[in-house]
Amino acid sequence: MLAVRCVAQSKDDPLSGLHVGDIPEPEVPDGWLSVELRSAALNHHDLWSLKGVGLRPDQLPMTLGTDAAGVLADGTEVIIYPVVADQAAGRGDETLDPGRTMFSEKHQGTFSEKVIIPARNAVPKPKGLSWEAAACLPTAWLTAYRMLTSRSGLTGPGTVLVQGAGGGVATAAIVLAKALGHTVLCTSRDSGRGAKAKELGADGCFVTGERLPEKVDVVIETVGAATWDHSLRALRPGGRIVVSGATTGPNPPADLNRVFFLQLSVVGSTMGTRDELDEMLKLVAAKGIVPEIDSVVPMSRAHEQFAKMDTGEVFGKLVLTA
């Protein structure tokens, strides 16, 4: 069967370790299921694996991918929940399990014609949702949903700033925040991305670092060092930054004086629970939400999508089809 794998790692030339080719079909352990792939979507996690982040050399070769949708042996159409974890170990929240992992870390990933998953990780696909759209939702969109709900502290409509329009989580956050009833502002270094963000529902888009017309209740932060100071300055007293990534660096100046004087909160967020994925899928279906997709190609042409992601010139999700 065809699979997209990491066979070597390089920080400077990550695509040199990417291999697309046939591998033997895997065995299915007790309590696990085989999913016949229909579509899958890239995340930065896949590129980082090729760069040697979060994946040890002794784990190679590793099939990449955390996002996918497909069909079970009985014909059931499913979306794959990407976290492999124990709810009990996380005291009811599998994202808090110290031993949690995602596909393509400890277990082979989703970029293969057949994907082997724990039975609990098969989530029914909403009717009417295309395969390409379904594949986009489990990682970036679920991350954004958790940030905006259980981690944001918002109990009603608020004002949300999304840093870095165009990224997978940021794009999802704009759409989901509007669906949840919030006023949404965003930032971008690129005017084209800003215009696209407004098409998706953003109430305003500003140059990265620009002074905003109003203070916000919550900042959705995935960029890190390049936007951190702006995120802190954008908050109203008592506001909150929810951070799930740091693509431009994890160690910006903390500005603790501002944090304590304005009683700001900095809250981490990682992925989401299976129950939250269920909740988000209901919202997507009820609101008729369709994820923004940059491009779709067959899995045999996966190199093209990885090259796009490596350049950063992407708006929305990059999708592979089986």
- Give the residues across from 80 on adjacent strands: 122
pLDDT one digit per residue (tens) for the chain, 322 residues? 999 999 999 999 999 999 999 999 999 999 999 999 999 999 999 999 999 998 999 999 999 999 999 999 999 999 999 999 999 999 999 999 999 999 999 999 999 999 999 999 999 999 989 999 999 999 999 999 999 999 999 999 999 999 998 888 999 999 999 999 999 999 998 888 889 999 999 999 999 999 999 999 999 999 999 999 999 999 999 999 999 999 899 999 999 999 999 999 999 999 999 999 999 999 999 999 999 899 999 999 999 999 999 998 888 899 999 9
Q: According to the model, what pLDDT value does residue 167 have?
A: 82
Residue 215 structure tokens = 């203070």
Residue matched to tokens 């098409």: 199
Nearest one of 207, 220, 215, 223 to 180, comparing CA atoms: 220
SS3 90: helix
The helix (run of H) or strand (run of E) holding residue 237 is strand 235-243
Residue environment code for 174-212, b if the CB has 16+ CB neighbours within 10 A, otherwise e: bbbbbbbebbbbbbbebeebbebbbebebbbbbebeeee
Whole-Å CA distances, 1 to 80, 91, 262, 300 = 19, 38, 56, 11
Q: According to the model, what pLDDT value does residue 316 have?
A: 84
- Per CATH, the number for 152-268 is 3.40.50.720
Give the start-to-end residue ranges of the domains of the chain: 2-139+272-321, 152-268
Q: Give this prediction's pTM.
A: 0.94
Angle between helices 168-179 and 274-287 (to 10 degrees): 60
**Strands, sheet with 159-162, edge to edge from the N-terminal-most edge strand:** 204-207, 183-188, 159-162, 216-221, 235-243, 265-268
Query: Using an 8 Å Cβ cutoff, are 97 and 89 in contact?
Result: yes
Query: Using an 8 Å Cβ cutoff, are 220 and 148 in contact?
Result: yes
- Per CATH, the number for 2-139+272-321 is 3.90.180.10
Alpha carbon 55 to its chain's center: 18
Residue 240 structure tokens = 């909150």
